[in-house]
Amino acid sequence: MIKRLFCSINKNKIINEPPKLSIIKDTIYNLSSGVGKSGVAIIRVSGPQAETVIRKLIKKSDVDKNEEIKSRYATLSTFYNPKTNEQLDKGMFIWFPSPNSFTGEDVVEFHIHGGRAVIYETMEAIGLIEGTRPSEQGEFTKRAFENGKMDLTQVEGLSDLLDASTSFQKKIALKQMQGSISEFYLSLRKDLIRASAYMEAFIDFGDDAELDPEIVDQSRNRIISIRDKIQQHLNDGKRGERLRDGANIAIVGPPNAGKSSLINLLTNRKASIVSPIAGTTRDIVEVILDIDGYPVIIGDTAGLRNSTNDQIEIEGIEMAKDRFNNSDIKLFLFDSFNLFSQLNQNQNLNSSFNFNEEIKNLFNFIDNETIIIFNKSDLLKQFDNLKEWENLKLNLLDNIKKSNNLNSIQSIEISCNNNENIKDLLNLLKLNLKNLFEIQDKESPLLTRLRYKQHLSDCVESLDRYLYYCEHDVVLASEELRSAILSISEITHSVNIDDLLDIIFKDFCIGK
Ligand SMILES: Nc1nc2c(ncn2[C@@H]2O[C@H](COP(=O)(O)OP(=O)(O)OP(=O)(O)O)[C@@H](O)[C@H]2O)c(=O)[nH]1
């Protein structure tokens, strides 16, 4: 049996460590507020020279040379160029001495007027002070990470927060930045360490120890439940991906049903061409929308018909079908007037509707996330047999439900021209989006990065191998447990840190 080697430390031995090198870091500065003219601009300075920067820029009377600068206090002051003594601006500064600052270093924030010249001259003046230099992209956050102010998931949360364009994205990013994801993964890690304690102890005791089958069983059961928890977290139904990229919504239907009219109504602008000519939309017209805080990409597709010889339109129809099949929410639009006219001509509810093959094929893909929309309800008002229209709708929905094995089917009647029921349609969409985005298991956070997915999958694989080995080979089983723990640890504190940091901080702005 392989035994672990321990290094014993002789406490009486005097260890001559090499003297520690004190690495003097540059003091970095940059504009932390947005670029461009603004009421107030904030220049952040971080590093050992931060206090010197304050003292060099302000008038002596504002803070006496020997006086301690009040921390976390907004001090009104006039700022001067330390070389020319020319006034730069009148504003405020806030002093955050280490370690209670964003970066963990000494930090000062100058709140000045947001004009280009004021910002430029103030930055130039700070640059005159020895040991200072402009920050690189994400360098403030990098220092915060290096100083243990945040872990990797929190840094990524901050990056997402800066990129968030809808309120749901913001909500999740804020939670992540404040440590919700770290807490979840750290507690999984802790559970794994606890569950592995027995195996480790057994190996440490060596050949003399006997495996207590009951304790092995307990340990194995604990690992199985942790493994299942991770697997459940991994099966998040692509919620995390959707949060970043937006949910895909496709509008499909026969030509002239009003698909472009609907997308224009939902987006409140003319995104797609509306015309009475069938086959107007050929390509997929995509619009990014924020519906109730959820990010959404909505696509208007080519009208589905098979009576065309137009090669471009045929290609557009193929793309529409593909988009429909791969969408999170499908809006299947019909022209109510057209449908009802067919009935009035045929007078036979049971006869199959005159749908073209392309439409009939797509019926197979109608699922729980499809909303059947009967548009142009305004045109129905001219008929006096509307009861039959209700029967016709029920008949059609029933047919689809039966052939697709669905318990229920979502449908709504609207008029794009008269704005009828558009609010109700939006509410239906919001409900569907809520189900898509919001996780049922409140304890488990959203999987917002592919990186987490990879480490978690590695962890599950190691745990599966552990479960296989633990019956026959305790050492190998224990090795697998250790590598499972390492995989989880990598999420918050990656081992290949430099490569990863470069990727993460590349997305940051210079003042962050
Ligand atoms: N009366 C009425 N007409 C509508 C309504 N919605 C759309 N239309 C009209 O129907 C015609 C076709 O509308 P579009 O929005 O271009 O239809 P489409 O489904 O995008 O058509 P294709 O691009 O050919 O697939 C236009 O003349 C619209 O003004 C509605 O609610 N009521």
Can you name the CATH fold of 182-236+444-492? Four Helix Bundle (Hemerythrin (Met), subunit A) (1.20.120)
Predicted confidence at residue 391, as pLDDT, reads 85
Q: Cα 485 from chain centroid? A: 25
378 CA distance to ligand 1 middle (Å)? 12
397 CA distance to ligand 1 middle (Å)? 22
CATH (one of 3.90.640.10, 3.40.50.300, 3.40.50.10190, 3.30.450.20) for 242-437? 3.40.50.300
245 CA distance to ligand 1 middle (Å)? 29
Residue 182 has pLDDT above 70, yes or no: yes
Planar angle of CA 425, 427, 432, nearest 5 degrees? 95
Name the token pair of 87.
């006034």
Confidence band for 341, pLDDT divided at 50, 70 and 90:
confident
Residue position matching structure tokens 């049922």: 440
**Is position 254 annotated in a ligand binding site?**
yes
Burial of 324 (0-12, 13-18, 19+ CB in 10 A): buried
Residue 13 has pLDDT above 50, yes or no: no
17 or 502, greater pLDDT: 502
**Is position 304 annotated in a ligand binding site?**
yes
Say if residues 445 and 180 touch (Cβ distance below 8 Å). Answer: yes
Say if residues 164 and 198 touch (Cβ distance below 8 Å). Answer: no
For ligand 1, is residue 257 a contact (CB within 6 Å)? Answer: yes
Predicted confidence at residue 254, as pLDDT, reads 83
The closest residue, in CA terms, to atom 32 on ligand 1 is: 376
- Which atom belonging to ligand 1 lies closest to the Cα atom of 253? 19
Confidence band for 120, pLDDT divided at 50, 70 and 90:
very high
Residue 361 has pLDDT above 60, yes or no: yes
For ligand 1, is residue 305 a contact (CB within 6 Å)? Answer: no
270 CA distance to ligand 1 middle (Å)? 13
Lowest mean pLDDT among 30-34, 194-198, 493-497: 493-497
For ligand 1, is residue 261 a contact (CB within 6 Å)? Answer: yes
Confidence band for 11, pLDDT divided at 50, 70 and 90:
very low
401 CA distance to ligand 1 middle (Å)? 27
38 or 120, greater pLDDT: 120
DSSP assigned state of 377: G
341 or 205, greater pLDDT: 341
Give the C-alpha separation, 436 to 239, whole Å.
7
DSSP assigned state of 250: E
- Kindly list the strands in the beta sheet with 107-114, ordered across the sheet, starting from the edge strand earlier in the chain: 75-80, 87-96, 107-114, 38-46, 27-31, 132-134
For ligand 1, is residue 379 a contact (CB within 6 Å)? Answer: yes
Mean pLDDT of 381-397: 84
Query: CB within 8 A of 23, min separation 6: which ones?
Result: none
Give the C-alpha separation, 117 to 136, whole Å.
21
Predicted confidence at residue 504, as pLDDT, reads 58
Tens of pLDDT along 146-164? 898 988 899 888 888 888 8
Predicted confidence at residue 274, as pLDDT, reads 60
Predicted confidence at residue 14, as pLDDT, reads 36
For ligand 1, is residue 147 a contact (CB within 6 Å)? Answer: no
Whether the CA torsion 193, 199, 200, 202 is positive or negative: it is positive
Which of 262, 274, 321 to mutate to test ligand 1, by most ligand atoms within 8 A of the CB atom?
274
**Is position 190 annotated in a ligand binding site?**
no
Lowest mean pLDDT among 74-83, 403-412, 485-494: 485-494
For ligand 1, is residue 281 a contact (CB within 6 Å)? Answer: yes
For ligand 1, is residue 511 a contact (CB within 6 Å)? Answer: no
Mean pLDDT of 65-72: 83
Predicted confidence at residue 403, as pLDDT, reads 84
Tens of pLDDT along 294-335? 999 888 876 666 666 667 666 766 777 777 778 899 999 989
For ligand 1, is residue 316 a contact (CB within 6 Å)? Answer: no
Predicted confidence at residue 201, as pLDDT, reads 64
Mean pLDDT of 102-117: 95
Give the C-alpha separation, 95 to 78, whole Å.
15
The mean of the pLDDT values for the chain is: 81
406 or 6, greater pLDDT: 406
Residue 289 has pLDDT above 70, yes or no: yes
Residue 266 has pLDDT above 50, yes or no: yes
Q: Where are the domains of the chain?
A: 27-139, 182-236+444-492, 242-437
Q: What is the ipTM of this complex?
A: 0.97
Predicted confidence at residue 262, as pLDDT, reads 92
**Maximum mean pLDDT: which of 131-140, 277-286, 436-445:** 131-140
For ligand 1, is residue 282 a contact (CB within 6 Å)? Answer: no
Q: To the nearest whole percent, how much of the chain has pLDDT over 70?
A: 76
Lowest mean pLDDT among 239-248, 385-394, 455-464, 503-512: 503-512
Confidence band for 198, pLDDT divided at 50, 70 and 90:
low
For ligand 1, is residue 276 a contact (CB within 6 Å)? Answer: yes
Residue 345 has pLDDT above 80, yes or no: no
Predicted confidence at residue 305, as pLDDT, reads 61
Residue 74 has pLDDT above 50, yes or no: yes
Residue 264 has pLDDT above 50, yes or no: yes
Predicted confidence at residue 259, as pLDDT, reads 87
CATH (one of 3.30.1330.10, 3.30.1360.120, 3.20.20.140, 3.30.380.10) for 27-139? 3.30.1360.120
